[in-house]
Amino acid sequence: MQATATESAVQTRSSGRAKGRFNKFRQYRMLFLMLVPGFIFLLVFNYAPMYGLVLAFKDFRITSGILDSPWVGMKHFNKVFDDPHFYVVLKNTILISVYKLIFGFPAPIAFALLLNEMRRPLFRKWVQTVSYLPHFISWIVLAGIFTTLFSLDGPVNALVKAFGHAPVVFMADERYFRSILVGTSVFQSFGWSSIIFLAAIAGVDPQLHEAAIMDGAGRFRRMIQITLPMLAPVISIMLILSMGTILDAGFDQIFNMYNAQVYGVADVIDTYVYRLGLINADYSYSTAVGMFKSVVALILLLSVNRLVKAVGGSDHTLW
Amino acid sequence: MVYRKTRLGMAADLCLYAAMTLLMLITLYPFWMQLVTSLESGASVYTTRLMFVPEQVSLEAYRLAFHFKPLWTGYLNTIVRTALGVLCMLIVTSLTAYPLSKKDLPFNRAFTGFLLLTMLFTGGLIPNYLLIRELHLLNSVWALVLPGTLSAFNALVMRNFFRSIPESLEESARVDGAGYLRIFISVILPLSAPVLATLALWVGVGHWNAWFDSLIYIADGHKQVLQVVLRKILIENDTADMNAMIQKMNTHSEYTDRQLQAAVVMLSIVPMLVVYPFAQKYFVQGVMVGAIKG
């Protein structure tokens, strides 16, 4: 419709097109003005740091600032790929993420399915409220609590002793630390993550269940053969989406729970970048490590979005 | 739906409710254990046991924690950053989202793309840190407020909500001679209370629990937020300040570091425990809003 409007304007007056556009700008002047603050915020707090990534290709000198520091090309990236600890950190990041996915992904689905079988609304609401709670507590507080819980004289070791074993220093033992990370992460997130699946369950057509009841299907059978298959699209999309963040192993959690004794199994890209950059002040090198992560994350995100589009149509894509 | 009450069905129900009750107890246990620890007097706090009930109840740790100033300055700083953060977020996000909700706005796609790009790629830790330093925002509350003010995700959620408001409402205001700004303030914003409340709670909780920015940008102890004060006491296990204060108080109270730590934990999560059950509905709504395509 806009096109025809402009066309007719062109027919009536030779300068109509330019004038029409000018009038349009006048008409939208206020809207453009409203965009200005947001535009500035994005430019300063999102795009300026992106520009700051040139640090990875320079030798940063505090006295000369980012602009005047000398270019060094790929020097820092070569250093990254020659750094043996980088591979440890990369392996830890992927392992912790994958473990969290394996255990943390099915948990909310199972929880949502079971919750759906509860017929007492009040009891159900209580269970939901309690299960969401850990999501609202900061990882600092949670890490503080878990440190006490798993300490040498803590409740977990009380259980260990009750079963006749010697107490274990869980938080400083490389054999247990990743399991603790995964377990506490599931504890923190299973309730909250179930919301999206509960909503999908609520959307299942009751007629399907009625028909199945007619055919004599029991509750368990219907849960497995009706509810679960109806969840399949949501499940596959959530699964694919979580692949896009596989390099985020959970900085908040790990940073507050790990210690030097378990760096070998718990140091991840984000914690390594923090120690290199802000503790050792090795700005250029840590920017290079961080940039490696950003680039891989971008590639993952783009491929994941394409995959979601292929699986579920454009309704569930990120943009 | 009608259920046949069979013996098998009853048994299944029993198992289900028992399992869910157990799950609920396990989820609550870590918090319960902290409460018990905070009430446990003297050295019995260090005996290895499950901490279901305190052996000797004492409120001493709470009394001492109440006198610990950094905790309350931390609270105040957290409240200030949360209030400023939510306010700035609401203003800038709604101002950005409204023009973008107009499909006929010239260059709308370009603006939206400019916004979306920030979801895909970020500068990362060091460039952000250097930026804050260059802007001379180190040690200022604005370093905690400004960087997160406009997020692409929030803007898209709000834009979609604005688009769902019937065009006819705006038309009638336009007939009365109102401009875009007028319409935005007196028609759109009042109708958008649900999305504004949801985003405010969402971002508010984020600010309340945020700690990393404060850890790296704020050096001055009096300006630290609650979470960083907690981090020092709980994670770095540094109770020297608290013990020094207690020495000065010259009381003859019996307490242990662990009891103090637990009391501090309880004092810090009380506001969340009180507010959260009432606000839960909005949080859940937020998840659903976010799930709809941006």
pLDDT at position A85 is: 94
Integer CA distances (angstroms), B36 to A110, B31, B64, B66, B258, in order = 31, 9, 17, 18, 11
Q: Given a cut of 70, is residue B2 above it in pLDDT? A: no
Global confidence as pTM: 0.89
**CB A247: neighbour CB atoms within 10 A?**
18
Q: What is the pLDDT of residue B202?
A: 87
Minimum CA–CA partner of A300 in chain B: B120
Three-state DSSP state, A58? strand
Nearest CB to B27; choose among A119, A130, A155? A130
- Residue A316's Cβ-side half-sphere holds a number of Cα atoms within 13 Å equal to 19
Residue of A17, A53, A63, A145 to mutate for B, most B C-beta atoms under 10 A: A145
Residue B95 has pLDDT above 90, yes or no: yes
- Chosen for mutation from B92, B96, B126 (greatest number of chain A CBs closer than 10 Å) is B126
Dihedral of the CA atoms B237, B238, B239, B242 (nearest 10)?
Answer: -140
Give A-chain residues touching B106 at CB under 8 angstroms: 21, 24-25, 28
Stated length of chain B: 294
User: Smallest Cα–Cα separation from A142: which of B289, B163, B227, B279?
Assistant: B227
Q: Exposed (0-12), middle (13-18) or buried (19+): which is A12, by Cβ within 10 Å?
A: exposed
A70–chain B nearest CA distance, Å? 17
DSSP H helices, chain A, are: 2-12, 16-27, 29-42, 48-52, 65-68, 75-82, 84-104, 106-117, 121-132, 139-149, 155-162, 174-202, 206-214, 219-222, 228-243, 251-257, 263-266, 269-274, 283-312
What are the beta bridge partners of residue A71?
Answer: A58
pLDDT for the residue B131: 94
Beta-carbon contacts of residue B184 (< 8 Å; ≥ 6 apart): A34, B94, B98
Pairwise CB contact (< 8 Å): A140 & B118? no
Give which of B162, B173, B167, B151 is closest to B99, Cα–Cα. B162
Rounded Cα–Cα distance for residues A234 and A311 (Å): 11
Cross-strand partners of A58 = A71
Q: Do A42 and B114 make contact, defined as CB atoms within 8 angstroms?
A: yes
Q: Which of B6, B117, B125 to substitute to test the interface with A, most A CBs within 10 Å?
A: B125
- Distance of alpha carbon A71 from alpha carbon A55, whole angstroms: 9
> Does the pLDDT value for residue B123 go beyond 70?
yes
First to last CA, chain B: 36
Place of tokens 């210690």: A259
Per-residue pLDDT, B289: 64
Instruction: Please state, as a whole number, how many other Cβ atoms lie within 10 Å of the Cβ of residue A232.
Output: 10
B35-85, pLDDT tens digit by residue? 999 998 776 767 777 778 888 888 888 998 888 999 999 999 999 999 999
- With a pLDDT cut of 90, the percent of chain B lying above it is 54
Which residues 233-252 of chain B have a CB within 8 Å of chain A?
Answer: 233-235
For residue A128, give the nearest of A196, A191, A201 by alpha carbon. Answer: A191
Give the residue extent of every domain in chain A: 2-57, 75-315
Q: Which residues of B touch A115 (CB under 8 A)?
A: 20
A positions 38-67 inside 8 Å of B (CB): 38-39, 41-42, 44-53, 55, 65-66
User: What size, in residues, is chain A?
Assistant: 319
User: C-alpha angle with apex B4: B1 to B6, nearest 5 degrees?
Assistant: 150
- DSSP single-letter state for residue B121: -
Write out chain A residues lying below 8 Å of B146, CB-based. Answer: 41, 45
Q: Are A318 and B98 inside 8 Å of each other by CB?
A: no
Note whether B27 contacts A252, CB cutoff 8 Å.
no
Mean pLDDT within B106-127: 91
> Closest residue of B to A299, CA-based?
B120
CA dist list (Å): A170 to A178, A189, A254, B226: 10, 22, 14, 28
pLDDT computed for residue A28 by the predictor: 87
Alpha helices of chain B — where are they, by DSSP H? 7-39, 60-66, 69-100, 108-120, 125-134, 142-145, 152-164, 167-175, 180-183, 189-191, 193-209, 212-217, 226-234, 240-249, 257-291
Determine the residue of chain A that is closest to B233 in CA distance: A144
CB contact under 8 A, A34 and B96: yes
Residues 6+ apart with CB under 8 A from B69: B245
* Chain A residues closer than 8 Å to B111 by CB: 35, 39
Q: Is B4 helix (H, G, I), strand (E, B) or coil?
A: coil
What's the DSSP call for residue A156? H
Minimum-distance CB partner of A30 among B181, B277, B287? B181
Q: Any chain B CB within 8 A of the CB of A23?
A: no
Using CA atoms, how far apart are residues B77 and B70, in angstroms rounded to an integer?
10
Q: What is the mean pLDDT of chain B?
A: 88
Nearest to B48 among A123, A132, A158 (CB): A158
Task: State how far residue B126 is from chain A, nearest Cα, in angstroms.
Answer: 6
Could A35 and B99 be called an inter-chain contact, meaning their C-beta atoms sit closer than 8 Å? yes
Q: How confident is the model at residue A20, as a pLDDT?
A: 66
Residues in B closer than 8 angstroms to A31, CB to CB, are 98-99, 102, 105, 180
The CATH H-level (homologous superfamily) assignment of domain A75-315 is MetI-like (1.10.3720.10)
Per-residue tokens: A91: 């392996």
Nearest-CA residue of chain A relative to B212?
A252
Is B235 within 8 Å of A256 when comparing Cβ atoms?
A: yes
Taking a contact as any Cβ pair under 8 Å apart, which residues of chain B between 92 and 151 contact chain A?
Answer: 92-93, 95-96, 98-100, 102, 104-106, 111, 114-116, 118-131, 134-135, 146-147, 149-150
A291 → closest Cβ in B27, B124, B209: B124
Domains by residue range for chain B, with CATH:
1-58 (no CATH), 68-294 (1.10.3720.10)
CB-based contact B24 A133, cutoff 8 Å: no
Give the pLDDT confidence score for residue B293 in this predicted structure. 42
Q: Residue B194 in contact with residue B285, Cβ under 8 Å?
A: yes
The pLDDT value given to residue B31:
94
| φ, ψ (nearest 5 deg) of residue B137 | -100, -5
Angle at which helix B108-120 crosses helix A283-312, to 10 degrees, equals 120
ipTM for the complex shown: 0.90
At residue A318, the pLDDT reads: 58
What residues in chain A have per-residue pLDDT under 70? 1-21, 312-319
